[in-house]
Structure 1
Amino acid sequence: MNKEDSSAAQHAADEGQPGNVVTGEAVELVGQASLWGNAWKFLRKSPFFIIGTFLLLVLLVMAVFPQLFARGIDPRVCSLSDSRQSPSAAHWFGTDVQGCDYYANVIYGARISLSIGVLSVIGVLIIGVLIGALAGYFGGITDSILARFTDVFFGIPLLLGALILLTVTAQRTIFTVSLALVAFGWMTAMRLVRSSVISIKNSEYVQAAQALGASTYRILVRHILPNALAPVIIYATISVGTFIAAEATLTFLGIGLQAPEISWGLQINLGQNVFLTAPHLVLFPAAFLSVTVLAFIMLGDALRDALDPKRN
């Protein structure tokens, strides 16, 4: 412990406060820095992390600035006389049933597909972290009630629950599809946070903060959650790909997004009817969808290995 920590600890003892407060917080901060420092060293050498990050950066730029990749072609400008053309120099991915440039459509489809994946994960984290933290920290009857509440939702599969919810929805937009996925997809995040909080809440630095009279909010936000989020970050990374695939599945079944929205799932849905005569209408969006999901899985696997307590 350095001189500043020693002086602070002595001051705490003189004031009648627990002498291990500063030491506990110092150990906590050093532990966090060591964990993430070691993780970053591992990730920089991980081929999964490098490839996954590169693919996701390209997809992110594609989603934010689709016009940079679409060669200036408007995906909604169509000509029925060019319907279902095969890939060519003029139309790299061919044209769809309406005669629209399919390459531009697939490029623009990245925006909505990624948006739904990210929005769904944000919603899942908000609900899962909040309920999991409260259940794990307070325990007792609070934990029992929240755990049983979570079990009710666990009994409903993600796609089935979202399908039922969207069936009774008048308009199926990016927001409503994301909301349906969040409503039946937050439970795993809750359990991960709950387990982590239970294992951390009796740590020395948490007990020291409690002895000082720190509020529950401060203890959770400052001391517990930063140390409990590693497994949730891994889960969230992989879940982005899962939710993108779920949206595509729902749309393929005719329950997800509706025209004139542009998404990979909707393109696959519209292309299935002419697959035998125009297979490119399914293959190209399916390929982009697969690469996106694979990139998130690779990134999640790399994070899991980097944050593995046994390795660290």
Structure 2
Amino acid sequence: MSDPTAASSGPALDQGAETRLDDSRKQDKPRSLGSDAWRELRRKPAFVISLVIIVLILLIALFPGLFSHVDPNAADINHARQGPSGQAWFGYDVQGSDMFSRVIYGTRASLLVGVLSTIGTVIIGALVGIVSGYYGRWADSLLSRFADIFAGLPFVLGAIVILMTFNAPGSNPGEVRIITQVVLSIAVLSWPVAMRIMRAATLVAKQQDYVKAARGLGAGPLRIIFRHLMPNTVAPVMVYATIALGANIGAEATLAYLGIGLHAPVVSWGVMISDARDYFTVAPHMVLFPAAFVSITVLAFVMLGDAVRDALDPKSR
């Protein structure tokens, strides 16, 4: 006679074996580059810390009223240059304005310049680089030499020439106009790096079989560039953009400190540092707090870019 216990346990054992087999298949299934990179990023403390800082900076820029209810332009000369206290955590500036409120509300302008100038840098550099790498020959030589001209310009000198050309001494351009000019100046002087990265990636990608197959099927240059090459070459440029965003925020502060970038009535970290440069010995808090926000933000974007680059590059693991 057959054992009823064995008969009843047979299907259960088979089901358990199938479950284990399915789990092993899921584990053995190859992951995509994106999922593999995300798996590596989650293990990096530098990525988590930088991401938390960047999210906090974005929240401050988008919703400054959640962090400070004080008008950043309100001034009381009786509090001029007073240090940090319970009433004003970061102290007061030379006009008697609350430094904490100005740092909070200045985040938006500094971040806006950094983001817009980075977008301009990526667009110009990516388009020139992919055209240069795809067509090669005389087009590559011409565009590469054109990029070398801009790459050879010292950033500060080039920015001074551009901004002083558009703004005569003593002129007072509007807030939107001066932000636009600073953004364009940074983008025009920074795009050659993105161009070289995109060009190198395009030279490798255009030799791949999918590009040759698309060309053999009669696809035109524009279709090959935007449909096949661009999605497969933009990753290294985006990694560079993450690092460049932090550098561009620092560039805004540099230009404002030199007196050729943003200025009042715009509230930004660079403008605050520029206004406080003559009072560092008597009121160091006026420089230290906005400078600390600049440094922390730049460091966060650089750390994020380094972590993403390492995660997307299997050779670095």
User: By the TM > 0.5 criterion, same fold?
Assistant: yes
Worse overlay, 219-228 or 89-98? 219-228
Select which of 204, 208, 212 maps to 1:207: 212
Select which of 42, 45, 56 maps to 2:43: 45
Select which of 88, 92, 116 maps to 1:91: 88
Alignment of 1:51-66 (within 5 A): 51-66=49-64
Select which of 286, 291, 298 maps to 2:296: 291
Q: TM-score, normalised by structure 2?
A: 0.86
**What residue in structure 1 maps to residue 275 of structure 2?**
270
CA distance in 2, matches of 1:291, 1:98: 26
Q: Which amino acid aligns with 1:79?
A: D
Aligned residues: 281
CA distance in 2, matches of 1:229, 1:215: 20
Matched, 1:232 2:237: yes
**Residues 84 and 94 in structure 1, CA contact (< 8 A), matched pair in contact too:** yes
Q: Which amino acid aligns with 1:123?
A: G
Moved over 3 A (4+): none
**What residue in structure 2 maps to residue 160 of structure 1?**
157
* Bigger CA radius of gyration: 2
Select which of 270, 276, 280 maps to 2:285: 280
**What residue in structure 2 maps to residue 146 of structure 1?**
143
Question: Residues 244-277 of structure 1: CA distance to partner in whole angstroms, max 9, x if unpaired?
Answer: 1111011111111111111111111111111111
Select which of 203, 216, 222 maps to 2:221: 216
**What are structure 1's unaligned runs of at least 5 residues?**
1-29
Q: Which amino acid aligns with 2:118?
A: V
Question: Residues 126-161 of structure 1: CA distance to partner in whole angstroms, max 9, x if unpaired?
Answer: 100110010000111111111111111111022221
Question: Residues 269-303 of structure 1: CA distance to partner in whole angstroms, max 9, x if unpaired?
Answer: 11111111111000000000000000001100101
SS of equivalent to 2:262: coil
Q: TM-score, normalised by structure 1?
A: 0.87
CA distance in 2, matches of 1:265, 1:123: 21
Q: Which amino acid aligns with 1:57?
A: V
Alignment identity in percent? 50
Matched, 1:244 2:249: yes
**What residue in structure 1 maps to residue 21 of structure 2?**
none
CA distance in 1, matches of 2:120, 2:132: 18
SS of equivalent to 1:260: coil
**Residues 62 and 69 in structure 1, CA contact (< 8 A), matched pair in contact too:** yes
**Residues 48 and 301 in structure 1, CA contact (< 8 A), matched pair in contact too:** no
**What residue in structure 2 maps to residue 76 of structure 1?**
73
Matched, 1:101 2:98: yes
CA distance in 2, matches of 1:211, 1:292: 48
Worse overlay, 181-190 or 40-49? 40-49
**What are structure 2's unaligned runs of at least 5 residues?**
1-28, 168-172
SS of equivalent to 2:264: coil
Q: Which amino acid aligns with 1:140?
A: R
Select which of 255, 260, 283 maps to 1:255: 260
Give how far 1:311 is off.
4.8
SS of equivalent to 1:184: helix
Give how far 1:309 is off.
3.6
